[in-house]
Amino acid sequence: MSSTQIPVIETQTERTDLPLVVMPTVIPTMLEPLTACLPTLRDLARVRLHTDTTYDEETIVERMQGADAMIDIGLHISDHLLDQLADHVRCFAFGGTGVASFINLDRTRELGIRVCNVVHYGNHAVAEHAFGLIMELTKHVGRLDREMREGQWAGMDGLDLYDRTIGLAGFGGIGQTMACIARGFGMHILVWNSHLHTDQAAQFDAQPVDDLGDLFEQSDVVSLHLPLTQATAGMVTAKQLDRLRPGSIIINTARAEVISPGALLTRLQRGDILAGLDVFDREPLPADDPLRQVPNLVMTPHVAWRSDGANRNLTKQIMQSLAAFYRGERMNVVA
């Protein structure tokens, strides 16, 4: 192998009778847990893991030649790429929950291609990251560290979370984990969810709110934990964002598409609220995106779901969903 070649991890290479599963691009920290789960597909499928990161569609198509299934963690499948793979790929196994952001599910249904996701793999990882954004916006630790290294000592005041109100839009596994953390800070908790039962909220000392706009108006911090579906796309409107009080905070570690296009940027440009974002309409975020120029904003590159525990959970589910596919069973099937 030449110095320019990228190592490839392969299993059961002699079993040419078995279908081929390919992961054409990888996040490096995923390699160890993925490799540990490879025995799950023994005698069911060969596996080929490429050990570098690429988003080049031409390279993806080349690496996917002959593949019956694809493992996808973080790669957006354009309709153009999907059409090039559709003649031989029968299953996409995604390492995430909101796969509608990554592939055209209506198109995969038309093509008869199975799409699998993973569920509840990173509730704690995402909730902890959301609170990391909240803490940076209220305690400024990262900013103060940078100023200290530049020789400054003036510092700045922080904001207390104690006795303030957090509004959780969405109350699944992540939202409930957020409620547990918020209780530890002594926060009041409001919850809006499309199918919320009062007794469920009561388990977390949370107060249910019937109207999403009321949640925005009554909260000091609003954190979005809505899945992306046809019903939730654009659910958060400019009108609701207008109801955020000056000085309040909005956090999105869910999906950018649950907010009406352009509405959050317009609200932030007024300069009277703060925001922490881990998800964006276009990913990777273009260098000229106007969000990069918003001063009252903390951004991270869609990494809330990435932690050691979440990596282990999602890679295990990926392999289990593929094993189910080859056994003629169903697991985590979304299309």
Which positions are annotated as active-site residues?
255, 283, 302
CA angle 294, 295, 297 (to 5 degrees): 75
* Torsion on CA atoms 254, 280, 71, 49, rounded to nearest 10: -120
Work out the number of other CB atoms within 10 angstroms of the CB of residue 38: 17
Contact partners, residue 189, CB within 8 Å, separation at least 6:
165, 166, 168, 179, 182, 183, 204, 205, 206, 207
CB 75 within 8 A of CB 25: yes
CA atoms within 13 A on the CB side of 260: 11
C-alpha closest to that of 141 among 298, 327, 13: 298
Calculate the alpha carbon distances from 291 to 229, 265, 269 in Å.
24, 7, 9
Paired tokens of 212: 């999403």
